[in-house]
Structure 1
Amino acid sequence: MNTVTLTREQARRFIVHYQGLSGPFKYQGRQGILDLVAAAGCLQYDPIDAVGRNIDIVLLSRVEGIVRTDLEDCLYRDRTLMDHWDKVMSVCLMKDWPALRRLRAVHGKRHLDLLSNDEAVARVKAHLEKHGPLTAADLPDMGTSMQTARSRQVNQAALDALLFSGAAMIARRVGIKRMFALAQAVVPEDLYQQADPFTDSDAFIRWRLKRRIGAVGLLWGRRSDAYLGIDDVTVSTLRTHLQHLHDTGDIVQVMVAGLDTPLYALREAEALLEAVRAGAQYAPRLALIAPLDHFLWDRKLIAALFDFEYVWEVYTPEAKRQYGYYVLPILYGDELVGRIDVRAVRKKQALSVAHLWLEQPVPDDFHTALETVLEQFRIYLGLERIVFT
């Protein structure tokens, strides 16, 4: 299969079903969390907890039969997942530790060079070895230094250098507090000792590009926010790498009616591409989409395919917000039909719906489907009731 041609409707249907957002739930229970992370490569982590954290919302949209402690158990008890830098700070499979060695080397050197204080790094490392796991506040005071025109605590900068280099890791979380330890105390020994599996930097970059395409389902053959964090790729080298992956049969070119730029999908998605092109239909499901969900990694692509513009307004001054602080897109079937402003108000033990914006006609069962999803959120977050304000 050289090139697949889809309509915009078919492209939407492909992405939605590929990502496990239509039909029966594709992912189940704690194993489903691992399978989803494997499919996406990484899930972005953001600590803001407005209605669950970003990663909680991602899981609720795709994984059936989970409770909130399941993710923490995978991360900090079973050690099947890890906190690790990828696109940004993310949750990744622990088994990808060897494959990410080159990324740790690049980011670690950047932070070590910026700090330029080997003694501080050695002191923090020794303190972690003797006293870890511990919080950043437990580190000995080492004063402040100027980094990129701003003052920083030396101990925190040294800890960051250790984290990004892979010498230290998050061992567990206690509420919003992160507990740090040396990596060898967190990563299983067999993985910790494994060598980099890639023969050169090109092989590593192509692996990362495939992961990003695999996360979204379809991605442009041009620069995209979905490729964020793959620092060595320019517009020219991106095209070269994608052409190589296409020539080797690792990815398939997809042309969508009305779009001038080709898109790419993984070879493993060929059967689904053919099914969608042949007219396959999938039962619609309602999902609230997290602001940093991999579904939204390329918002320009979403705008082109779904006619839906989304801006995460959490850092927008209140007076300039169009919708609200933590508003979520609503996916129903293969359409983004609106937005919802919903918060967990824990003092009142309530899931509070402040506003619902519907931007196109919805089917008769929409409100029942929305109530079902809100109830799933309420249970997952341990709240007592749902209120509409």
Structure 2
Amino acid sequence: MISNISTTKTNAKRFLLDFQLLNDSKTPSNKNESELALNIIRNLECIQLDPIAAVERNHHLVLQARQPNYRVEILEKLISNRHLFEYVANAACIIPIEDFPKFKIIQDFYINTIHTSTQSLNEIMEKVMDQMMKSEPLPSRALKSDKIVKGYWDNAKPTTKETTLALNILFDLGKITVAKRNGNEKFYTATENHVPKSFLNERSNISINDSKEALIRKYMKAYRIFDFEDPRFGWFKTTAKERIAIRDKLLHQGIVIPVDIKNVKRQYYILTEDVEKLETSDEYTDCSTVKFLPPLDNLLWRRSRIEDLFNFSYKWEIYFPESKREFGYYAMPILYGDKLIGRIDPKYLRKSNILQIKLLQIESHIKIDSKLLNELRKALKQFAVFHKAKNIVIETTSPKSLIKKISI
């Protein structure tokens, strides 16, 4: 068994950015648009969904940061063509279809924990399933019901439409899935209509223990540099004692190896198969372009790792009262090479086709030279093109002098 290995923050960052496909030289380019987007999702293991639409939604922004010419229609087509499915991973995520069997442990969790009061919905759930089996994918609005019930997310009083709760339960149980998206509208169908039979059979035959191990491995491949302090290590709830047991087993099997990162107190780990890539990461030429990362980008999932490796503190202020926001409602970190250098708070004004930059902020220790200014301009123009915006309006910058230098 290999003992601890040591590395620097720079090596660790470049290694991580390579796997996150945020280094342009590591993003495959010899594929058509759909193949490239699918390849990105497979490399990342999954991408997180979010309905917030200050600009384009998170899942599209994740792909646009890695595929500059990406269009939202590409992802929608990949879903309807049965290359992807939606389920719970880091949160609600889009996942490669071949990984469907690995999530049996999550489905089993819902089978055992969904409140027994939902048994009163058996009749409506049967009706919904009957529709899902026989028809084309349906949006929730197509399921008519005026009956209000108490959803398992409701607090004091019932506020949930009966069919909405039925859809959520059936989705959590893996009986239905999203087969089509039109913008933010989801169209559901029976899982067996969307997931190829071979993967359904694999899901039926896989044991809960094998499902757990497969999901842990998928988690580790998604993070690449990880710690065992995450209470959702493996994307299912664990206690500290359980995580220690998982860690010790992985170490004993030689699957993972501890990594000591210079000037970082937290103990990190990588897959043993990645050791050579980590040790040679300083040989790679890191990307020097500017990229705007959405708040739920894969790189940002573990905030403590961002602070440890990038010396950058990031909080998504969307749920803060406006008076307590420092950087804005939808502030997105700015990646420049292997550094997080600031934030941009964008809003797309759809009626006027204007990309409004409410704040463009660069950290005080970052040197703002002509190269950085050029890369910022390029990234802003590319971001505007992606949103089909006709104009870019920058309202405020930090430092204040930046607004005169960044004119577009």
**Does 2:182 match 1:174?**
yes
Q: CA deviation at 1:328?
A: 0.3
- 1:20 paired with 2:27, answer no
Indicate the residue corresponding to 2:49 in structure 1.
Answer: 45
State whether residues 356 and 394 of structure 2, in contact with CA within 8 Å, keep that contact through their aligned partners in structure 1: yes
1:52-93 CA-partner distances (Å, limit 9, x unpaired): 1111111112124422211111111x2111122222110000
Q: What aligned pairs does 1:82-101 form with structure 2 within 5 A after superposition? A: 82-101=85-104
Q: Classify 1:235/1:349 alpha carbon distance in 2 versus 1 (closer, same or farther; 3 Å).
A: same
C-alpha change, 1:263 and 1:197, in structure 2 (3 Å) is: farther
RMSD: 2.2
Deviations along 1:22-45, one digit per CA (max 9) or x if unpaired, are 242514432222222222221110
Aligned to 1:17, the other structure's residue is in SS state helix
1:382 aligns with 2:388: yes
Unaligned runs of 5+ in 2: 396-408
Structure 2: how far apart are the matches of 1:53 and 1:383? 15
TM-score scaled by length of structure 2: 0.87
Number of residue pairs the alignment of both structures matches: 384
- The 1:280/1:179 distance shift into structure 2, 3 A limit, reads closer
Q: Note if contact 1:87-1:229 (Cα within 8 Å) is conserved in structure 2.
A: yes
What TM-score, normalized by structure 1, do the two folds share?
0.91
Alignment-derived partner of residue 332 in structure 1: 336
SS at match of 1:156: helix
1:112 deviates by: 6.1
- The corresponding residue for 2:215 is 208
Give the residue type in structure 1 aligned to 2:312. F
Q: Identity over aligned residues, as a percent?
A: 24
How far apart in 2 are the matches of 1:219 and 1:114?
A: 38
Residues 339-364 of structure 1 deviation map (CA, whole Å, 9 limit, x = unaligned): 11122211111222221111032343
* Partner residue of 1:294 out of 289, 293, 298: 298
Q: Deviations over 1:225-278 (max 9, x none)?
A: 6x37312x21111122122222223222211123333211123322221113x6
Aligned partners of 1:99 and 1:197 also within 8 Å:
no
One-letter identity of the residue aligned with 1:178: K
- What SS is found at the alignment partner of 1:70? helix
User: Are the aligned partners of 1:206 and 1:241 in contact in 2 as well (CA < 8 Å)?
Assistant: no
Q: Who is 1:249 aligned against?
A: 254
Change (3 A) 1:224 1:161: closer
2:372 alignment counterpart: 366
The match for 1:111 is 114
* Conserved 8 A contact 1:224-1:298: no
Shift of 1:325: 0.6
Alpha-carbon distance in 1 for matches of 2:23, 2:183: 33
* Alignment partners' CA distance in 1, 2:95 and 2:129: 24
Runs of 4+ in structure 1 over 4 Å off: 278-281
Task: State yes or no: 1:138 paired with 2:139.
Answer: no
In structure 2, C-alpha distance between the alignment counterparts of 1:216 and 1:181, rounded to whole Å: 31
Given residue 6 of structure 1, which amino acid in structure 2 is its aligned partner? T
Q: Separation in 1 of the partners of 2:194 and 2:115?
A: 22
Structure 1 unaligned blocks of 5 or more: none
Cross-structure match for 1:161 = 169
Show the counterpart of 2:401. Answer: none
